[in-house]
Amino acid sequence: MSFATMKLPCLIRGAGGNLTLPILYEDEWLIAVNKPAGLLSVPGHRDRQDSVLNRLRHLLPDGITLASVHRLDQETSGILLLARNRQAHRHLNQQFQQRQVDKVYETVLAGLVTTETGVIELPLWADPGDRPYQKVDWQRGKPSETQFQVMVREGDSTRLKFMPVTGRTHQIRVHAADRRGLGVPILGDRLYGSQTTTSRLHLHARELRFQHPQSGQTLHLQTETPF
């Protein structure tokens, strides 16, 4: 059995009615939010505490028990999943580790891609002296695989779907920008070579399909791409 999220998400609000986070799905086992671009998934250093996890911990009665299952880059928007108890966290984390979760990202690249579909396999390595930059390294890199499909070409840009099989840091961004991948950076991705001035990185986690940790039924979460 498959469940999909409502098209218009519920909104969780902080003190004074300020908009905080759109909730796509929730039950007693898990919660999924539509993370806005620019917000951390989990807290960072002392001066970088504003995050999805900390906001939910503050706003929800059971927030202290929440645990992140995966992460999105700060610049990336879209579906972020969190567990509400240890059992849910264990089951969901296992699905991600065993690559049993189907993920779909939508993006706009700052150039034309001529190949309609394909698979990119490039090993990624984080240089300790140049974080958070990731690069292709055949000796030290970790295997990473991304499937892609062109949706439409719009002028001098290309809208694509990316389906990452592995979940390395900046995987889609590097696979798009590196000349051994597509050779075209994501629109707004200054870290990996985009020269176009835009308000945000054009990368959105659009869909997530996984097994519910309690019922075993398929959950298919979806959200609209904001660009």
* Active-site residue set: 73
Alpha carbon distances (Å) from 203 to 7, 29, 67, 74, 104? 19, 28, 24, 11, 11
Spell out a b/e string for 100-115, using b for 16 or more CB atoms within 10 Å of the CB, else e: ebebbbbbbbbbebee
- What sign results for the dihedral spanned by CA atoms 109, 115, 119, 121? negative
| CA gap 33, 48 in Å, rounded | 20
| CA gap 28, 128 in Å, rounded | 39
Q: What's the first-to-final CA gap in the chain, in angstroms?
A: 31
* φ and ψ of 16, to 5 deg: 80, 5
